[in-house]
Amino acid sequence: MAHESVCEFARDREEGQERLLEVANLPMRRFLALDGDVYADGTLSRVEKERLGLVASVVLRCDDCIRYHLKQIWELGGTREDVVEVLGVALVAGGSVVIPHLRRAVSFLLELEKGSPPRATRP
């Protein structure tokens, strides 16, 4: 699963989410709703919250979560420079143990880039 493509990841996540919701009890449904609500635009924009989620996911070493937040950041208009800066914060917060996750994150980012038109860098 560590080398799964962007398309495979999106498909597997969607199918898994559907299966989860089929069996989810009320507390699980409430948590899933809360998760969605937390990432909505507020004082912080959705993309800023996804960047925070990416840092937390790297530090917690959750490759599925890393892929999810990378995909969200990318779809919200994030750039390679944005992601690399966020991964730098995650490295400082998590230490050298997160380096393998950074490698996989960069591979996933490069695959996201291949499937999208070039992005302007931040001013």
For the chain, list the domains and their CATH numbers: 6-114 (1.20.1290.10)
Q: How much is the pTM?
A: 0.86
User: Which pLDDT does position 1 carry in this prediction?
Assistant: 42
Dist. CA 49–CA 56, nearest whole Å: 11
Find out whether 83 and 70 touch, Cβ atoms under 8 Å.
yes
- Which candidate, 6, 17, 74, places its Cα nearest to that of 46? 74
Residue ranges, the chain, pLDDT below 70: 1-3, 117-123
pLDDT at residue 75 in the model = 95
Helix %, strand %, coil % for the chain, to 5? 75, 0, 25
**Paired tokens of 103:** 């490698």
